[in-house]
Chains A and B, each alone.
Chain A
Amino acid sequence: DGGITQSPKYLFRKEGQNVTLSCEQNLNHDAMYWYRQDPGQGLRLIYYSQIVNDFQKGDIAEGYSVSREKKESFPLTVTSAQKNPTAFYLCASNMGQYPSGNQPQHFGDGTRLSIL
């Protein structure tokens, strides 16, 4: 079945440590996204990528980094510069906007990151 796989489901970070969250999709989607979700809040965009080897900052990119070396993979690194990393992280993908027009985003089941 096609879908988006995020791993691990739970992750713990120590002070001063960088951690990387994995996101893989087999939907042949061009665009991929990373969101952060905090309790009682909507989803906030961290980074997005429209094509391989290209990505743009979202609304809350500080303290995060990404890469897009393969179409199906878009890993997110939470660096030690992110002072409040505890959150639920969601990866999404879609066909991209042009020339496909508006296409719905499909989400993975998330990674919950906590601080030790």
Chain B
Amino acid sequence: GENVEQHPSTLSVQEGDSAVIKCTYSDSASNYFPWYKQELGKGPQLIIDIRSNVGEKKDQRIAVTLNKTAKHFSLHITETQPEDSAVYFCAARPSGAGSYQLTFGKGTKLSVIP
């Protein structure tokens, strides 16, 4: 089955700096890669996702890049703000019939220092 590794587990940045979180996946058949943000006591919220036919996707201060050859994808947050502080999860899902499951990384706790 799929295995997703996420690094780093914790990340502290100064307000205004950029933050990068990286994930690697094991199943080359995976074709969908969402990123979630989870605030304390809340459920995860989808912030951006990318499909395997796209190398990069951007939404304002957030971008995701995908390298299918190396089987890794990254979340980039620019001009970080204190409200970006949260736990971020990456996930991957294989293609094919019956592939409904998402496999999640273990999360990165991002702290943005004012």
Q: Which residues does A use to contact B, with CB under 8 Å? A: 4, 6, 31, 40-45, 48, 50, 58-59, 90, 92, 96-98, 102, 104-110
Contact = CB atoms under 8 A, between A and B. Distances in A.
B114 interface: no
Nearest to B46: A104
Interface stretch (B12-20, B60-68, B74-82, B98-106): B98-106
Nearest to B6: A42
Given A40-B106, A41-B106, A90 B100 contact: no
Contacts of B4: 42
A43 B89 contact: yes
Contact of A42 (B31, B51, B105): B105
A19 B97 CA distance: 33
Given A42-B106, A97-B99, A110 B93 contact: no
Contacts of A41: 106-107
Given A40-B107, A42-B104, A42-B107, A110 B42 contact: yes
Contacts of B100: 31, 48, 50, 96-97
A102 to B, nearest CB: 4
A86 B97 CA distance: 33
Contact of B31 (A58, A59, A102, A107): A102
B43 A90 contact: yes
B102 A105 contact: yes
Max chain A CB contacts within 10 Å: which of B36, B44, B46?
B44
